[in-house]
């Protein structure tokens, strides 16, 4: 008679939580209930299963005796002689491999019965534990359960396979040796979801502007990453980013397909890094919050490096006029991106936990309210904008004349070959505006705004350019903001917003701070010029300005922002903090006419209007010139590639929003929240690993 061992010490810690069972067939065809490893019990998940070879003393079906002892003859059951013990050891195998098999059988039995002493006692006495759907345990006789799986396992079974869902956090917690390879169909589904998510994010951006597809795209991207390891998450994130950025940044093709491809390749790396980190936070509760914080951190990094950053195509800029737009008044563009990603991640949470529950780290409860909660929260996020405070009208207005002179060329040679053609076009359109005012067709402006590069000749050095501009400004009779590229010394230049008074001529100015790499200056000049002949088209190297763009013009102080700068939070905010109103964006989109760049830039102006409680007036060489109200509505706009002009009446507001006052604090807080969550996830993983090693 074999002595039962019911007081074995726990291996890797006891777990009292009921475990759902999954049917498994034994070697004799009997159906047994084998409990999958608890995702939170990494020690149990990492113990080997069914590694022992076959034994001649395999218990018969329904037998409750002859369970092999863990120890050698020194721990033999009472009544067993030395010769009996020797015979038993010979049968089991006296080699280290045989002894390891014996221990493995015991570990497998313990794992099947549960890690608590009571469970192991039941296993040793031939009583299994079957868990109902509700998680309650009920005894099942060994004759129903069949022989232990370890007894039927062949010696060459190899390392065990995890019973956790492929790619789930529970599977990863079991250690690198235990998870089975993810099925090909699951991997294919991840690839399709990542790519489809990238397409949906692109559809949210102008010119289509289907803003609701942005959170839906995030849903698919997050679902594709959920349950993956960092390496797989990285390349899935890179795939989603490439699919998103290739069409979104297609306007770069004007410069060259090689530049377009390189830009997409570099920018996609940021998404890959974010995805790799996100694979860690999926193991934490409330992971949609941490995922959204990581997204903000990624967009912050994109706007910082390399060579001054490239903040284009941030998710906030797809929400120029949407249910999420008003978040800009509370936390700027970063909070808008955070809200969009949070909504999408909440939908992904519902998807992976209730639609695809096999990939959830823990079984989801069946309550209908729990299933609907993430979806309800996702819908509630944009509804919170109703509580965002926004300053109202202050009762002041100003009439602003907007001139769009057009240019003859296209692409990289948009300014054409005719000398002074851009200057002549804009001067002529300014005089046409003056004639319309005299005829009573338009109200008299208080100031006029011309686009960036509205003169292609330096008016400081060229008498003809100076006389032409002066004549048009005198015709309209009010201060005019001229866009000029002016020489500085013999080798440098500045992109300048120049106030031209009808009486005193050129006066105060603002020099562009955020310059376009390879467009206004050449990074790593010697190397780049040696490799790419096109880089020589930059000519003189632009130098950045050092002060904000507050310029006094007539009855107001405008906030000058030049083209590319509208994408940079700090530059626009610094100008608004001077008290300037309205914001004036001078831009030259001639090389990118009819691409998706002009409408994307207009959407940025919409976000800035709401963010800072300012009207935004945009003057473009070829379009889109526009007027955006302080609540983000496009009140007037031009078509592209036409000469046009108008006088618009815009409100003058000087009260600051919360976003203007707090500046970058929301962005830093959200980004740090996401990064800190990664740190917590890594720390917990190492802590669990240490416990597994000790067990």
Return the active site residues: 452, 512, 563
Q: Which two tokens stand for residue 448?
A: 């006029």
Distance CA 228, CA 58 (A): 39
Distance CA 215, CA 374 (A): 13
Q: Which two tokens stand for residue 57?
A: 């003393």
Distance CA 313, CA 318 (A): 8
CA 467, distance to chain mean position in Å, is 51
DSSP state of 240: H
Query: 24, 108, 117: which is closest to 70 by C-alpha?
Result: 108
Q: Which two tokens stand for residue 582?
A: 């309205």
Distance CA 68, CA 51 (A): 15
Distance CA 147, CA 26 (A): 7
Q: Which two tokens stand for residue 129?
A: 């534990």
Radius of gyration of the chain (CA): 35
CA 83, distance to chain mean position in Å, is 69
Contact 250, 596 (CB under 8 A): yes
How far is the CA of 548 from the CAs of 400, 559, 562, 651, in angstroms? 21, 8, 11, 21
Q: Which two tokens stand for residue 138?
A: 């009920």
Q: What is the 3-state secondary structure (H, E, C) of 313-379?
A: CCHHHHCCCCCCHHHHHHHHHHHHHHHHHHHHHHHHHHHHHHHCHHHCCCCCCCCHHHHHHHHHHHH
How are strands ordered across the β-sheet holding 626-628? 550-553, 556-562, 583-587, 616-620, 626-628, 634-637
Distance CA 252, CA 256 (A): 7
Cβ-defined contacts of 576-579 (< 8 Å, 24+): 576/612, 576/614, 576/656, 576/660, 577/548, 577/656, 577/660, 578/548, 578/550, 579/550, 579/654
Distance CA 675, CA 681 (A): 10
Query: 21, 30, 80: which is closest to 59 by C-alpha?
Result: 30
Give the sign of the dihedral formed by CA 515, CA 516, CA 520, CA 525.
positive
């Amino acid at each position: 008679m074999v002595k039962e061992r019911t007081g074995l010490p726990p291996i890797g810690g006891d777990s009292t939580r009921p475990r759902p069972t999954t049917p498994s067939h034994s070697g004799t065809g009997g159906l047994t209930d084998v409990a999958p490893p608890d995702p939170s019990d990494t020690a149990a998940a990492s113990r080997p299963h069914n590694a022992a070879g076959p034994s001649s003393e395999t218990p018969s079906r329904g037998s409750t005796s002859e369970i092999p002892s863990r120890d050698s003859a020194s721990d033999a059951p009472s009544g067993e002689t030395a010769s009996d013990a020797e015979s038993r050891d010979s049968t089991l195998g006296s080699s280290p491999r045989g002894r390891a098999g014996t221990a493995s059988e015991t570990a497998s039995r313990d794992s099947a019965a549960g890690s608590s002493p009571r469970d192991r006692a039941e296993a040793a006495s031939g009583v299994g534990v079957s868990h109902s759907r509700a998680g309650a345990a009920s005894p099942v006789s060994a004759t129903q359960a069949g022989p232990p799986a370890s007894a039927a396992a062949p010696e060459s079974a190899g390392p065990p396979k995890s019973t956790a869902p492929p790619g789930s956090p529970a599977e990863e917690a079991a250690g690198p040796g235990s998870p089975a390879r993810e099925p090909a169909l699951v991997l294919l589904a991840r690839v399709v979801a990542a790519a489809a998510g990238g397409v949906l994010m692109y559809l949210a951006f102008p010119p289509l502007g289907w803003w609701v597809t942005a959170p839906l795209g995030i849903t698919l991207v997050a679902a594709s990453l959920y349950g993956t390891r960092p390496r797989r998450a990285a390349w899935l994130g890179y795939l989603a980013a490439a699919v998103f950025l290739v069409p979104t940044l297609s306007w770069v093709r004007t410069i060259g397909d090689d530049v377009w491809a390189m830009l997409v390749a570099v920018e996609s790396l940021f998404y890959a890094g974010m995805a790799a980190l996100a694979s860690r936070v999926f193991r934490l509760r409330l992971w949609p919050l941490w995922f959204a914080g990581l997204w903000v951190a990624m967009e912050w990094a994109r706007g910082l490096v390399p060579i001054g950053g490239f903040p284009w195509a941030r998710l906030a800029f797809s929400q120029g006029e949407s249910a999420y737009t008003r978040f800009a008044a509370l936390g700027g563009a970063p909070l808008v991106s955070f809200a969009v990603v949070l909504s999408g991640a909440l939908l992904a949470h519902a998807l992976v936990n209730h639609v695809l529950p096999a990939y959830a780290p823990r079984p989801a409860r069946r309550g209908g309210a729990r299933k609907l909660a993430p979806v309800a929260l996702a819908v509630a996020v944009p509804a919170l904008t109703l509580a965002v405070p926004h300053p109202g009208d202050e009762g002041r207005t100003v009439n602003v004349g907007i001139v769009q002179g057009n240019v003859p060329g296209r692409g990289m040679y948009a300014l054409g070959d005719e000398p002074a053609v851009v200057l002549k076009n804009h001067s002529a359109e300014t005089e046409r505006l003056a004639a319309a005012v005299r005829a009573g067709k338009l109200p008299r402006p208080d100031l006029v705004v011309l686009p960036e590069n509205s003169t292609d000749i330096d008016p400081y050095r060229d008498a003809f350019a100076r006389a032409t501009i002066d004549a048009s400004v005198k015709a309209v009779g009010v201060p005019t903001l001229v866009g000029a590229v002016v020489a500085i010394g013999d080798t440098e230049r500045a992109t300048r917003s120049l106030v031209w008074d009808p009486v005193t001529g050129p006066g105060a100015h603002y020099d562009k701070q955020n310059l376009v790499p390879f467009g206004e200056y050449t990074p790593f000049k010697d190397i780049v010029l040696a490799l790419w002949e096109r880089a020589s088209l930059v000519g003189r190297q632009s130098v950045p300005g050092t002060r904000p763009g507050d310029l006094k013009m007539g009855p107001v102080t405008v906030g000058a922002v030049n083209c590319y700068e509208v994408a940079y939070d700090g530059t626009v905010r610094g100008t608004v903090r001077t008290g300037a109103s309205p914001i004036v964006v001078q831009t030259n989109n001639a090389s990118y006419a009819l691409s998706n760049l002009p409408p994307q830039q207009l959407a940025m102006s919409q976000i800035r209007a709401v963010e800072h409680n300012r009207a935004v007036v945009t003057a473009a060489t070829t379009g889109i010139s526009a007027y955006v109200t302080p609540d983000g509505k496009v009140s007037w706009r031009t078509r592209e590639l036409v000469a046009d002009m108008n006088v618009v009446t815009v409100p003058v507001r000087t009260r600051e929003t919360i976003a203007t006052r707090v500046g970058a604090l929301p962005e830093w807080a959200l980004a740090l929240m996401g990064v800190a969550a990664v740190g917590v996830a890594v720390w917990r993983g190492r802590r669990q690993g240490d416990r597994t090693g000790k067990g």
